[in-house]
Amino acid sequence: GAGVSQTPSNKVTEKGKYVELRCDPISGHTALYWYRQSLGQGPEFLIYFQGTGAADDSGLPNDRFFAVRPEGSVSTLKIQRTERGDSAVYLCASSPTGEGGEQFFGPGTRLTVL
């Protein structure tokens, strides 16, 4: 079956622009997560959705970052007024349930802010 997919695979933008990153989780998975992986580091948690609601957004670095999951499936991570420090690989994962389940990761979106 299809795994987690993310689009685009690469995104280059200019400082100050707005970007949207999309995640398609595995069908039927109720939990969805976003992580950010900066160069040379391990992924860091950003936000967790259970169904349509953000159950934990404590990892979002500031109010320029926002994520939605309106129908409980596809999720979009939105970054306003991008900064060079936002350059990273953004990873999405999904799991059948929220607690204790294995998280299945997508290939990531590499965001470069010039």
Partner 1 sequence: AQSVTQLDSHVSVSEGTPVLLRCNYSSSYSPSLFWYVQHPNKGLQLLLKYTSAATLVKGINGFEAEFKKSETSFHLTKPSAHMSDAAEYFCVARMDSSYKLIFGSGTRLLVRP
**Residues in touch with partner 1 (CB under 8 A):** 3-4, 9, 31, 33, 35, 40-45, 48, 56, 91, 93, 95, 98-100, 102-108
Minimum distance from residue 39 beta carbon to partner 1 (Å): 11
14 or 28: CB nearest partner 1: 28
| Residue among 41, 39, 49 nearest 92 (CA) | 49
Minimum distance from residue 49 beta carbon to partner 1 (Å): 10
108 or 113: CB nearest partner 1: 108
Q: How far apart are CA 43 and CA 33, in angstroms?
A: 11
30 or 87: CB nearest partner 1: 30
Judged by DSSP in three states, 85 sits in: helix
Torsion angle (degrees, nearest 10) of CA 65, 17, 25, 47: -10
Q: Which two tokens stand for residue 1?
A: 């079956």
